[in-house]
Structures are given as structure tokens and as C-alpha cells.
Amino acid sequence: MVQIPSIGLHTVMCVYMNKKNKYLLFILLMAVAMVATATLGPLFVPKDTNWNENQLQKLDHYQKFFSFVVTGDNRDSISTFNKLIDEINHENVLFVVDNGDLVSNGEQSQFTLFLEQIKRSNKPLLTTLGNHDLRDGNSLNYQQIFGHPYYSFIIGDSYFIMLNSGSGERLDTIQIEWLDNQLNKGLDYRYRFVFMHYPLFDPLGRPADEGHSLGDVQQAKMLNNLFDQYNITMLFCSHIHGYYNGTWGKTPYIITGGAGAPLENSDQEHNFYNYVKVNVTQKGVNYQMIRLS
């Protein structure tokens, strides 16, 4: 049921394999490998690949009424994140979304630790890409484990769109075109849920250049208008380590970034560890913010 953007094959190389160009090809491949290693680090082929797609295969996609959990920003956390998983394990939910910042800087060893941690979960767990999940601005390590950084899926009468806002600045043109297409498809469904790590705007009104919201303000406004146009049910964000909710234009949003990363300050009204339980019912959708005990 997962819908992943198609990526065309851009380069085709044909080589006539006589003895001479076998040797030349070997030298060429060695040079490419050395450049790739110097640029990206050692090649990493993890045991767990296409994680999100594999998790989606565990779900009953025909359920019309169900619950799920949204959380985010667990990076650098051991005890708090483990406790959060343990509490969610007692919830009657179909799946969990970790909305980015799974690790602190996208290192392979950190993703290995994260995979060990989420083995505690007795629910399928899906991810989106956060800014801390990049290594030197590159999402290669994330993609090798979890798959494509944006995707969509359907459960019952609900359409889910998972975005890649990990750069913190803007969504590229290809992703914007894909998003518009997905939102149009979502009109055939009763509910449309959108997930992105970065909030469109900072609920505390801080300027975008401080890094608490999408850096490209004009694109943030464009996305807001797009979400308004398609009347999405809820926009889920993280990145700010706490809990906020409200409306941007006509678009309702929830920011849940309390999965264990250091809290921003001592503001007890907003900054505490939390997750959100979403209940899709016959009468509509309701949201429960659950503060970690």
C-alpha cells in the first residue's frame, strides 16, 4: 500500500569487455569508490532496509476506524524514549509515527542504536526525516535503512502523506509537485493527514531565521495555502521540543516534539515530554495529548 515516488535511471553505461578496457574499467571503478568513500564515508548496508515499507505491510489497511500515535524528537534520549515506548505499548493503537530527529547527527552507529531501541515497540513504527537525521546535510544513511524520505499510504478512508522537510529550508520542486498530486488523490478520502518535521511557522512568533520553523517563509505560506485549498484534516509537525496546537489559515496543526530530546526551556505550559493519540472514529477524528508520566 505504500506509494513511493518513482525515480528514473539517469545513466546507462555500456562497456565492450576486451582485456584492455576490463583493466581500465577496474581502475575507473576503484577511483569512483575512493571518491565516494571520501565524500560519504564507508559504504553501509544495514540489516534493516526499507523499514517504513516493511512496517506498512504489517498493517490492516482496510480498517476504517482505528487509532495511531504521533511523537517526535527522541534524539539523544535513552531512558525517556524507552519509557515513552513502554507507555505507547499499552495503548490500543494500530501504529506509531516518529516524526523526525530519530538520532542526533545521522551517523550509522546512532541509527543502529535507534533500531535497537524501537525493538521495544510492540506496534509498527513509521518514520519521517528530521534535520538531525542528516549527516553533513546528506540523508544517505537514513534512506539506506528507512527507504525514500517521503511517501504516502492509505488506511480505510484516511490518506497519509509523509514529507521530507529535513533540510529545514524548503521542499524541492519535485517533492512539491508530488505533494500536490497526493493531496489531489486524497480528496477521494474522508481524512487527509500530513506529516512534516519542521513546522510551517513558529507558534511563538520567532523569525524563521532562528531555525524553529521552515526557513523559506514564502514557501511556508505557499504550503499553507495548498493545505487550506485541499482542506487537510491535520498537519502534524515536530522539531520544537514540546507541545503546541492551533490553526494556520484554515489548516489545523499539532506540534509534538517531546519524545526525549532536551526540552527547550522550563515553560510548563508547552515544554514537556508527550505524545499524541489520534482516534479515527465513525463520528470524526479526535486528538488526545498524553503527557509522559
Angle at 218 between CA 216 and CA 219, to 5 degrees: 70
Cβ proximity of 267 and 252 under 8 Å:
no
Residue 40, pLDDT score: 37
Q: Helices marked H in the chain — which ranges?
A: 19-40, 51-56, 79-88, 108-117, 140-146, 173-186, 217-229
CATH for 19-291 (3.60.21.10, 2.60.120.480, 1.10.20.10, 3.40.640.10): 3.60.21.10
Residue 2, pLDDT score: 67
Largest CA distance in the chain: 72
Task: Please write down the HEC assignment for all residues of 9-41.
Answer: CCCCCCCCCCHHHHHHHHHHHHHHHHHHHHHHC
Number of other residues whose CB lies within 10 A of the CB of residue 198: 28
Question: How far is the CA of 69 from the CAs of 1, 97, 119, 171, 279, in angstroms?
Answer: 19, 6, 16, 25, 9
Which has the closest alpha carbon to 231: 198, 194, 279, 285? 194
C-alpha cell at 74: 527522541
Give the chain's length.
293
C-alpha cell at 282: 465513525
Sign of CA dihedral 91, 92, 95, 99: negative
Query: Distance between CA atoms of 98 and 198, rounded to whole angstroms?
Result: 13
Residue 279, pLDDT score: 98
Residue 4, pLDDT score: 64
Sheet with 125-127, strands from edge to edge, namely 125-127, 95-98, 66-71, 274-281, 284-291
What is the phi/psi pair of residue 191, to 5°?
A: -125, 145
- Residue-wise pLDDT tens for the chain (293 aa)? 567 665 443 333 333 334 445 444 444 444 444 444 333 333 333 455 899 999 999 999 999 999 999 999 999 999 999 999 999 999 999 999 999 999 999 999 999 999 999 999 999 999 999 999 999 999 999 999 999 999 999 999 999 999 999 999 999 999 999 999 999 999 999 999 999 999 999 999 999 999 999 999 999 999 999 999 999 999 999 999 999 999 999 999 999 999 999 998 767 789 999 999 999 999 999 999 999 98
Distance of CA 20 to the CA centre of its chain: 48
Residue 268, pLDDT score: 77
Helix (H, G, I), strand (E, B) or coil at 77: coil
DSSP run (H or E) holding 264: none
Residue 210, pLDDT score: 95
The DSSP 8-state label assigned to residue 182 in this structure reads: H
Residue 1, pLDDT score: 58
Residue 267, pLDDT score: 74
pTM: 0.85
Residue 15, pLDDT score: 32
For the chain, which residues make up each domain, given as ranges?
Answer: 19-291
Number of other residues whose CB lies within 10 A of the CB of residue 157: 13
